[in-house]
Amino acid sequence: MKKTNLVSILLASAVAIAVTSLTAFSMGDKGSEMKQDKMSEGSSSALSVATFAGGCFWCMESPFEKIPGVHQVVSGYTGGHKQDPTYKEVSHGSTGHVEAIQITYDSAKVSYNDLLEVLWRNIDPTDDKGQFVDRGQQYTTGIFYHNDSQKMKAQASKDRLMKSGRFDKNIVTPVIKVMEFFAAEDYHQDYYKKSPVRYHFYRSRSGRDQFIDKFWGDDRQYKIKKASNNSASSIAATGETLSNKPHSRPEADARGVPIKVATMTQSYSKPSNEELKERLTALQYKVTQKEGTESPFNNKYWDNHADGIYVDIVSGEPLFSSTNKFESGTGWPSFDRPLVTENVIEKKDSTFFMVRIEVRSKNADSHLGHLFDDGPKTTGLRYCINSASLKFIPVETMEQEGYGEYLPLFPNAKKST
């Protein structure tokens, strides 16, 4: 090989490496660049931008991405006072931002008015405190107009909705001038595609689809009129229907005994913080009040095989049963379903650079653990719970401790006398 050819090859290789490194660096940890490449394919001069806020942006991407003429939908944050905020900062409500989506669309194929109609069918426009299960200013709705035309159309659409009488409360979704939009972290982009099981599980329990069904019914399907030929294309204006949701909670336990739904007459409440510090051990307080995690294989109940139920260490509200406990190999108590469904609630948890479903008790608001979709075939779910959050009530003492109504779960167990 000639020396000049060798030099040329080495020089070309160096340039290629530099370009690759620069490209990787420019991607960062935000999601807009990835979708920008997708949008640039087949883009045209007729592209416009719309920005909406409708609560959890996971649930807002899907309805718009399915519309012909929409090139991309990016999840992000807008309306706040901090530059380049993180999800953790926004979710804590400290930056003034709301979760939002930015839609790039071909105005020759889909109109701004059409996008507004889809928006109304995916939000609760009467709620100024949040959206469905997600509460706080960061989850409120909003229409962020980019020009005077969008402003007039948005206000006119809002007025029509108010006059329609569809809702029995005032429409509070604001129409405000667009502010700087920051793309959310990459793991949030197209979350409904990347983590479909977790997305469906969250959405089915958020209350969004139930609200849409109640107030829109058959009208939840909005027909987009294509501007090019005036033909109507039926587009699902909402996301997935409830009938397709996987992993719905079972109505009976593994032995066929109906799961309770808050039928007990006792009231469960959370004591004062001072009392909790006196009653709980340092680990119990850290786990339940500070969202801590105990060590695996070194906790009280991970290998407990006795018959009985597990209640909240703080309030005593019944949570899980040994009839639904299984060996997960994780070192923490694991259950495939709750005992009282209403006492176990789920919340989105995005700490540690991942998205999980946190499990908390309803009345005491104790942190219990997390919910995963790798459970046994009975439900497909794994409630991974900290022993420090629980108190075990053996079947022998359930009646005297006030949990006698759960004794039918253990027909062969001996009762205390």
Mean pLDDT of 333-337: 95
Q: Which domains does the chain have, with CATH numbers?
A: 29-243 (3.30.1060.10), 273-409 (2.170.150.20)
Look up 384 and say whether it is catalytic.
yes
| DSSP 8-state secondary structure symbol assigned to residue 257 | P
Instruction: Of 144, 123, 142, 145, give the one whose Cα is nearest residue 134.
Output: 123
pLDDT tens readout for residues 37-55: 444 334 445 699 999 999 9
Mean pLDDT of 184-197: 88
Taking residue 163's Cβ as centre, other Cβ atoms within 10 Å add up to 9
> What's the pLDDT at 390?
98
What 3-state class would DSSP assign to 83? coil
Residue 13 or residue 104, greater confidence: 104
Instruction: Of 81, 98, 87, 61, give the one whose Cα is nearest residue 174.
Output: 98
Range with top average pLDDT, 7-11, 271-275, 310-314, 370-374: 310-314
- The torsion angles phi and psi of 120, rounded to 5 degrees, stand at -60, -30
Rounded Cα–Cα distance for residues 399 and 242 (Å) = 39
Q: Which amino acid is at 398?
A: M
Rounded Cα–Cα distance for residues 329 and 264 (Å) = 33
Q: Which of 53, 56, 171, 212 is catalytic?
A: 56
> What's the pLDDT at 30?
54
Q: Is the pLDDT of residue 262 over 70?
A: no
> What's the pLDDT at 218?
86
The residues near 9 (Cβ < 8 Å, ≥ 6 apart) are: none
The residues near 396 (Cβ < 8 Å, ≥ 6 apart) are: 413, 414, 415, 416
Share of the chain above pLDDT 70, in %: 78
* pLDDT tier at 414, thresholds 50, 70, 90: low
CB 71 within 8 A of CB 330: no
Rounded Cα–Cα distance for residues 125 and 157 (Å) = 12
The residues near 8 (Cβ < 8 Å, ≥ 6 apart) are: none
Instruction: Of 103, 111, 45, give the one whose Cα is nearest residue 78.
Output: 103
Q: Specify the long-range contacts of residues 213-218, CB closer than 8 Å, at least 24 apart.
A: 213/242, 215/166, 215/167, 216/121, 216/166
Q: Which amino acid is at 137?
A: Q
Q: State CA 348 to chain mean position distance.
A: 5
pLDDT tens readout for residues 344-354: 988 888 777 77
Residue 412 or residue 360, greater confidence: 360
Instruction: Of 366, 342, 311, 312, give the one whose Cα is nearest residue 249.
Output: 342
Q: Which of 359, 384, 388, 390 is catalytic?
A: 384
Residue 8 or residue 409, greater confidence: 409
HSE, side-chain direction, 13 A CA sphere, residue 88:
5
pLDDT tens readout for residues 268-308: 889 999 999 999 999 999 999 999 999 999 999 999 999 99
Residue 379 or residue 230, greater confidence: 379
Look up 59 and say whether it is catalytic.
no
Q: Determine which of 201-205, 209-213, 229-233, 369-373 has the lowest per-residue pLDDT on average.
A: 229-233
pLDDT tens readout for residues 353-362: 777 889 999 9
What 3-state class would DSSP assign to 394? strand
| Longest alpha-carbon distance in the chain | 98
What 3-state class would DSSP assign to 395? helix
Instruction: Of 270, 301, 320, 303, give the one whose Cα is nearest residue 388.
Output: 301
> What's the pLDDT at 199?
86
> What's the pLDDT at 337?
93
Average model confidence (pLDDT) for the chain?
Answer: 82
Residue 248 or residue 384, greater confidence: 384
CB 180 within 8 A of CB 81: no
The residues near 262 (Cβ < 8 Å, ≥ 6 apart) are: 340, 342, 343
CB 141 within 8 A of CB 123: yes
pLDDT tens readout for residues 61-114: 999 998 999 999 999 999 999 999 999 999 999 999 999 999 999 999 999 999
- Integer CA distances (angstroms), 414 to 61, 85, 260, in order: 54, 58, 22
> What's the pLDDT at 380?
86
